[in-house]
A and B are shown apart, each in its own frame.
Chain A
Amino acid sequence: MTDVAVPPPRKPAKGVPLVIQRIALAGGFLLLWQIAASGVPSYVFPRPAATWAAIEHLFTTGVVWGHLGATLYRIVVGFLLAAAIGVPIGLLLGSSRRLGTFFSPVLPVMNSVSSAIWSLMAVVWFGLSDATPIFVVLTTGLPLIITNVWQGTKNVNADWLELASSVHMPKHKVLAKVYLPAVLPDFFSGARLAFGFGSRVSLVAEALGSSYGVGFMIVRAADLLQMSHVIAWSVILIATIALIESVVIRPAERHLFRWRKEAGL
């Protein structure tokens, strides 16, 4: 058993504890905000307290749930579609040199199309429906996921492919058992990007082509000069995305990549 490596115990960070540092950062930020907003009318730039009141109002009236739920639903569906389409395409492009060479110019072009353009096209095609923001999240996330998975196939060791061929493994099983696990770390970097970009562009799509959701509420609040509500909705969405990141995505990564030497450290 002496051969089995034991990870070294986690060292406590030196100096000021991280929690205190974070609290100091947040406090400093709020103080700057307060100073910047003093002497300015609330409809131009509300103070932290006014923003907090708006957040409280959205929660106590229950307005927040329906809109936040609708927006999250669109982000998640768009993201899942992007992953479901992007992973096989990335694997295919990465495992076949001929396909990869042929399609290589498509991704940079797709990547450089502004999400405002996708949004406008989606409004024309799908009107004021869930499909509009879903489509925009999908088109934004898809090239990111394809690119990362494709990039990840370059980590697939030719030796592993020889091993698979020495035991007569058919191609579809090689894709599932060698390529897929090998590209998973890169898929996750792509997925984080796609999820982050998706959650931002979904607001653009909702602002332009929806009658419900966080993006729509932000535009409405801006039209009514309710700046505190604009900031409140933004804070709520950002906090929700951060929460999903820390309770879903990061634990999933830790579990999937437990085979790595430094996993979780």
Chain B
Amino acid sequence: MMAAGARETVISLSGVTKAFEGNAGHLVALKDIGLDLYAGEVLALVGPSGCGKSTLLNIVAGIQSADHGTVTVFGKTPGKDGSTALGYVFQEDRLLPWRTALRNVTFSLEAGSVLRSERDRRAREALALVGLAGFEASYPHQLSGGMRSRVALARSLVLDPPVLLMDEPFGRLDAMTRSQMHGELLRLKGLFGMSILFVTHDVDEAVALADRVIVLQPRPGRISTVLDVDLPRPRDTAGPEGAAVVSRLKSLIGS
């Protein structure tokens, strides 16, 4: 097991609380969340729906802000000037239907002042990396679910992000495509070396990918357990060791 304290911390949350005023009244989505993401680590957040997983990622990405507590990404508050743009892979592919695969990938770079020729070059590279060379001119409706997921992944990778935030990105894919994408993700992580903060409600997926798993409990969303997954890769979650970790996690979530 790695000595976590000795590694560089890229994301740090402490005492993060977030509440919403909805039709159902005051809803505490997150309560007193504290966690660190270390450089090069894959950290999975697991929990049932309603435990505030997506809210947590949005706060880290700077899309929403916390009511209380502190969040730092590379020492800066997310969403403020000078903060680093992280790669964010959403639950849905969120491809813009009027843009080709290539233009969907360049979208990430169009926020800044990267030249068009440079944007195109990097986007082509990113599409090739996810195995979609030759599909640059295809529109989203012409692509399969798995291919659309790959475009969404390329859209994040093109930023060469130090951290990838992933919100159940493969949840809508069939089982076979999903396990293919797991392999792809780990291969790309080997290439880019980014840290990954991964949200899922699928325990198998968490055990297949993560170095550490954090279990969240719902209403209000809070951390109940942190578990190191110390299995060699590639992992087989159906094998005896993997299955043991999966069933241990399931019992932790159920309790």
Contact = CB atoms under 8 A, between A and B. Distances in A.
Interface of A: 3-5, 157, 159-160, 162-170, 173, 177-178, 181-182, 184, 257-261
A172 to B, nearest CB: 11
Contacts of B142: 3-5
B85 A4 contact: no
Contacts, number: 69
B146 to A, nearest CB: 8
B90 A159 contact: yes
Contacts of B92: 159
A177 B107 CA distance: 9
B110 A3 contact: no
B63 A166 contact: yes
A168 B90 contact: no
Contact of B94 (A4, A159, A259): A159
| Tier of interface size on chain B | 20 to 34
Contacts of A157: 94
A159 B96 CA distance: 10
B130 to A, nearest CB: 14
B99 interface: yes
- Most B CB contacts (10 A, CB to CB) among A164, A178, A260 go to A164
Given A162-B63, A166-B85, A259-B140, 6 more contacts: A3-B142, A163-B107, A167-B107, A167-B111, A181-B99, A184-B98
Given A167-B85, A167-B108, A168-B85, A261 B141 contact: yes
A181 B63 contact: no
A184 B96 CA distance: 13
A165 B63 CA distance: 6
Chain B contact residues: helix, strand, loop or mixed: loop
A260 B141 CA distance: 8
A181 B100 CA distance: 13
A3 B63 contact: no
A4 B147 CA distance: 10
Contacts of B86: 166
B239 interface: no
Contacts of B90: 159, 162-163
B159 interface: yes
B99 A3 contact: no
Interface string B110-133: 111000000000000000000000
Nearest to B61: A166
A52 to B, nearest CB: 46
B88 interface: yes
5 contacts: A3-B144, A166-B63, A169-B110, A257-B98, A259-B141
B110 A173 contact: yes
A177 B147 contact: no
A5 B141 contact: yes
A4 to B, nearest CB: 5
Interface string B80-96: 00010110101010101
A160 B108 contact: no
B243 interface: no
A176 to B, nearest CB: 10
A168 B139 contact: no
A166 B86 CA distance: 7
A173 B63 contact: no
B234 interface: no
Given A166-B63, A166-B88, A259 B99 contact: yes
Given A166-B88, A170-B111, A259-B139, A178 B96 contact: yes
Contact of B98 (A164, A165, A173, A181): A181
Interface in B32-76: 58, 61-63
Contacts of B99: 181, 259
Interface string B204-226: 00000000000000000000000
Nearest to A4: B142
A8 to B, nearest CB: 14
Given A166-B88, A168-B85, A261-B141, A160 B96 contact: yes
Nearest to A262: B141
B139 A164 contact: no
